[in-house]
Amino acid sequence: MTQEATEEKQTKPLLPFIKVPDNYPDEEAYIWGSKCSDCGSQFLGERLACGKCGGQTFEEVRFSDEGEVYVFSVVHQGVEEPFVGAIVDLKDGPSVRATISGLDPAKVDAGYRDWFGTKVKMYIEKVATDREGNDVIAAKFKVV
């Protein structure tokens, strides 16, 4: 049983809007979503209907790995090390919640005004192993 489980080990996305291609890791995972055919609104992941206009036809879109920091907080609550938790506007895409590396949480008081609009790039990282032994991957962001 153990051996079988190991053989079937898969890579799973932390959140459903991270697409793991069939030929992963030869092709890197990416953030994907749905673009409403009626009004053009874009959403992370799959949609049943458009949250803006109610349309039910969508085009599947691979979103850019590049984006800009819109806003952020430095979160201390519930974690050992504070982290920069941001909202990143993806280039030509929707916004995504993002943990940012390359901005020093300790320097927020002095430097926060310079953080707005910071260019960031998404990268994929294994963050955990689930109960079945599968790799769980997440989309993280670093300052360009």
Partner 1 sequence: MRDVAVVGVNMIKFGRYPDKDVVRLASEATIGALKDAGCTINDVEILVSGNLYQSNAMVGQRIMKEIGATGIPVINVANACATGSTAFRDAWMSVASGAYDVALAVGSEQMGKMGLLGGGGGGDRAYRTEGVMGTGIMPGVFGQAGVEHMRKYGTTQEQFAKVAVKNHHHSMGNPYAQYQKETPLEDVLNARPVAWPNTLFMCCPTGDGGAAAVLMSAEKAKQYTTNPAWVAASVLTSDPYQERNPTMTDINTVTRIAAKEAYETAGLGPEDLSQVELHDCFATAELLHYENLGLCGDGEAGQLIDEGATAIGGRIPVNASGGLLSKGHPLGATGVANIVELVWHLRGEAGDRQVENSKVGLAHVIGLGSACTINIIKK
The closest of 53, 63, 52 to 94, measured between CA atoms, is 63
Binding partner selected for residue 75 from Zn ion, partner 1, none, CB under the kind-specific 5 to 8 Å limit? partner 1
Among partner 1, Zn ion, none, residue 79 binds (CB under 5-8 Å by kind): partner 1
Residues 24-83 that bind partner 1 (CB under 8 A): 41, 44, 51-52, 70-79, 82-83
Select from partner 1, Zn ion, none the partner in contact with residue 95, using the beta carbon and a kind-dependent cut-off of 5 to 8 Å.
Answer: partner 1
* Nearest-approach distance from CB 44 to partner 1, in angstroms: 7
Cβ 126 to partner 1, closest distance in Å?
11
Task: For the chain, report the end-to-end CA distance as a whole number of angstroms.
Answer: 45
Contact 19/30 with Cβ under 8 angstroms?
yes
Q: 38 contacts which partner out of partner 1, Zn ion, none, CB within 5 to 8 A by kind?
A: Zn ion
Q: Are 39 and 50 a contacting pair, CB within 8 Å?
A: yes
In the set 29, 58, 67, 86, which binds partner 1 (CB under 8 A)?
86
95 binds Zn ion (CB under 5 A): no
Q: Among 10, 116, 119, 144, indicate the residue that binds partner 1 (CB under 8 A).
A: 116
Name the one residue in this structure whose structure tokens are 């809007």: 17
Q: Does the footprint of partner 1 cover residue 124 (CB under 8 A)?
A: no
CA 66 to chain centre: 11
Residue 113, CA distances (Å) to 69, 70, 118, 136 in order: 11, 11, 10, 34
Could you tell me if 66 and 90 are in contact, meaning their C-beta atoms sit under 8 angstroms apart? yes
